Amino acid sequence: MTQANKLGMPGWAFLFLTGVLAWWIPGCGHWIIGQYKRATIIFISLTFAFVLGIYLGSIAVIDARTPWYWAQLLYSPATAYIAHLSGSVYHLNSYGRPREMGEIYTAIAGMLNLLCVVNAVYMAHCNNVKEQNQ
């Protein structure tokens, strides 16, 4: 019995839920399909990269006025709130090489999370198809 059947959801709704949860919390999509070790590794590694980027360049590297923002937003919707705090509330700025390094680390964490979201949805789909064929 797949996780979708355990939750009592149709297949498409389970895939949608898996994708949304995987985006909101890195690794959560794999967690919901039962891949606990993979989910833990994804969460720790992506969160480490994202936090390291913020540590290197300060919270000001999350800025909605830069092109890097769209890649950073793939990490989690919480990135939008961080951008709001750094730009509108606290009016923070960051310059130079540390900012560049921070933008790169946070953007890479976001793009890697996109790959993990796609992988989680694909794995959930494959599990559903395999269960239906048996």
Contact 106, 72 (CB under 8 A): yes
Name 5's Cβ contacts closer than 8 Å, sequence gap at least 6.
131
Q: How far apart are CA 22 and CA 61, in angstroms?
A: 23
Asked whether residue 100 is assigned to any structural domain, the reply reads: yes
CB 105 within 8 A of CB 52: yes
- Domain-embedded: residue 26: no
| Stated pTM of the model | 0.88
Residue 19 lies in a domain: no
Q: Is the residue at 15 inside a domain?
A: no
Specify the number of domains making up the chain.
Answer: 1
Name the residue among 115, 111, 120, 122 with its Cα closest to residue 28. Answer: 120
User: Are 86 and 60 a contacting pair, CB within 8 Å?
Assistant: yes
pLDDT digits (tens, 9 = 90+) for 88-115: 877 878 888 999 999 999 999 999 999 9
Question: In which residue ranges of the chain is pLDDT below 50?
Answer: 1
Residue 14 lies in a domain: no
Residues 6 or more apart in contact with residue 75 via CB below 8 angstroms: 26, 46, 50, 106, 109, 110, 113
Within-domain flag for 32: no
Domain that holds residue 101: 37-128
